[in-house]
Amino acid sequence: MQFSFKKLGISSGAKRIIVLDDEDAFELGVKPGDRVRVFAHTVQGMKIGPGKIAIVDIATNNETLPRGTVGLYDEVYNQLELSDKYNKISVFLSSKPTSFNAIKEKIKGHELSSQQIQEIVNDCTNERLLDIEKAAFIISLEVRGATDREVVDLTNAMANSGEILDFGDEVYDKHSTGGVPGNKVTLIIVPIIAAAGLFIPKTSTRAITSPSGTADSFEVLAPVAFSKTKVLEILTTEKVGILWGGALDSAPADNALIRIEKPLTMDPFPLMIASIICKKIAMGVKKLVLDIPCGKGTKFPTIEDGRKYANRFKEISTQVGIQTVCLLTNASQPIGHAVGPALEAREAMRLLKDPTIGPSSLRNKSCELAGILLEMAGKAQEGKGKDLALEFLNNGKAYNAMKRIIKAQGGNPDIDPEKIEVGPFMQEMIAIGDGFVTSVENKHINRIAKIAGCPAAKKSGIEIERKIGQKTKRGEVIFRIYSDSKARLDEAVEYYNAHLPQILGGMTLERI
């Protein structure tokens, strides 16, 4: 059936929804939730392309849509590239894709063939699989796992679901499996590596569940979101960038699965590996250092978990042509003191400008990770990479490289770290007794930062003044909360008082 269309001006975030008049739907034999294939037509009636898969909602009211008109959500409208020339659309009932049979086999515990994995990935790319079907695939990997062969196939298929960039053989990158607050090491590592003259095309996501992603923090210093053309121009010219990866649309099949993994709060081992590596393949990365924070609240509660993952990751990445070194790191408390986009940008810029002031945890971790890349590049002997990284930090070359990155991306390279705006509302939290910090609850740190407005409110966040092992006296400032709004600050303070993120030892607990 051929229809006129109406742009509804509604976005579902990702799902492609079309709204059919109820009588049209009846005639097509289509029920709400059914999957249809939609084609754009020219005035002459010619179809373009293979059509797009969409999900049907039904107009129950004649005022919503006249018969013969299909309502389009933004996702469908944009995908169909409709125009004056393509001003009609056709809708056909679409069958369940055969890739779902493969998913059901995986649920039963069978190993999938390369062909089956390719089919699943194709149907993720073209959004032919429903959300619940993608969820079934994710859960099947969670329960049944996958062989190395399957993970390699999945990685390659997801990488090839979009464009693969090629910047030659010497392309470096760092990545973190996440889970530790204030992990702003990327903002230190990238300028060190650039200072060494190595190509590092760092693309990052924005924060989804954490208070700040690298893209969110760097955006305080310079824009990060560019068109694909501009991204390629920056990288080709500068051999470095700290960019939001969204515009590149690399490995779209991976993105389709991530959109379901996040709300499912599931990240099965095989997919966790394939997802990181496929994005690196797409960015043309050849040498990678992987930061694997281990401990409570991360994906790897024990070092043994992290080690298992690291070995598997190295195996898979080698098989797809990426050399990887993994570093298991301590995730017991934030790296540095600051959490939140502006506070993290400020802390990183302070360290780059004057490395002697620290914080030492940020300096150490950054230089260890950067040092590994320098060793992989042959810039330093094994065991000497960290020293070289420190040298680039101490001699100001990393700071100069950072300025160059900021300038190339349209920011102010001469920004004074002390002029980076935070707050403006701030509350200092005071120790209620003498003692020392015995442990830190990352979960509460993240929660407080988010209640204060992170990551959307860039000036919100926290500073942890006393970290594990540090002594404190009653009345001293041990924590600061910043927020763009007084109301949010009050809420964050309330949460802080109910869930103290720093555990103080050596105190009298109670006297009766």
- Closest contact distance (angstroms) between CB of 116 and a second copy is 17
* Spatial separation of the C-alpha atoms in residues 214 and 175, rounded to whole Å: 11
- Closest contact distance (angstroms) between CB of 18 and a second copy is 11
Q: CB-wise, 27 or 249, nearer to a second copy?
A: 27
Q: CB-wise, 102 or 260, nearer to a second copy?
A: 260
Asked if residue 473 lies in contact with residue 367, where contact means CB atoms within 8 angstroms, the answer is no
Binding site for a second copy (CB under 8 A): 7-14, 17, 19, 26, 29, 31-33, 57-61, 63-64, 71, 73-74, 96, 100, 104, 107, 130-136, 139-140, 142-144, 260, 263-266, 456
Q: Which of 22, 74, 267, 434 is an active site residue? A: 267
Angle at 402 between CA 399 and CA 407, to 5 degrees: 130
Q: CB-wise, 71 or 284, nearer to a second copy?
A: 71
Asked if residue 134 lies in contact with residue 100, where contact means CB atoms within 8 angstroms, the answer is no
* Spatial separation of the C-alpha atoms in residues 120 and 57, rounded to whole Å: 25
Q: What is the DSSP letter of 320?
A: T
Q: CB-wise, 8 or 362, nearer to a second copy?
A: 8
- Closest contact distance (angstroms) between CB of 38 and a second copy is 17
477-483, strands of its sheet edge to edge: 338-339, 461-464, 477-483, 425-430
**Closest by CA position to 460, among listed 342, 305, 310, 332:** 342
* Spatial separation of the C-alpha atoms in residues 48 and 50, rounded to whole Å: 7
Q: CB-wise, 13 or 378, nearer to a second copy?
A: 13
- Closest contact distance (angstroms) between CB of 11 and a second copy is 5
Q: CB-wise, 13 or 383, nearer to a second copy?
A: 13
- Closest contact distance (angstroms) between CB of 135 and a second copy is 4
* Spatial separation of the C-alpha atoms in residues 301 and 370, rounded to whole Å: 25
The pairing of strands 461-464 and 338-339 is antiparallel
- Closest contact distance (angstroms) between CB of 136 and a second copy is 6
- Closest contact distance (angstroms) between CB of 65 and a second copy is 8
The pairing of strands 425-430 and 477-483 is antiparallel
**Closest by CA position to 186, among listed 331, 347, 330:** 347
Tokens matching residue 26: 């009846």
Q: How many residues does the chain have?
A: 512
**Closest by CA position to 68, among listed 7, 5, 9, 17:** 5
E strand map for 60-98: 69-72, 88-93
Residue 17 β-bridge partners:
55
267 flagged as catalytic = yes
Report, as residue numbers or ranges, the catalytic residues. Answer: 267
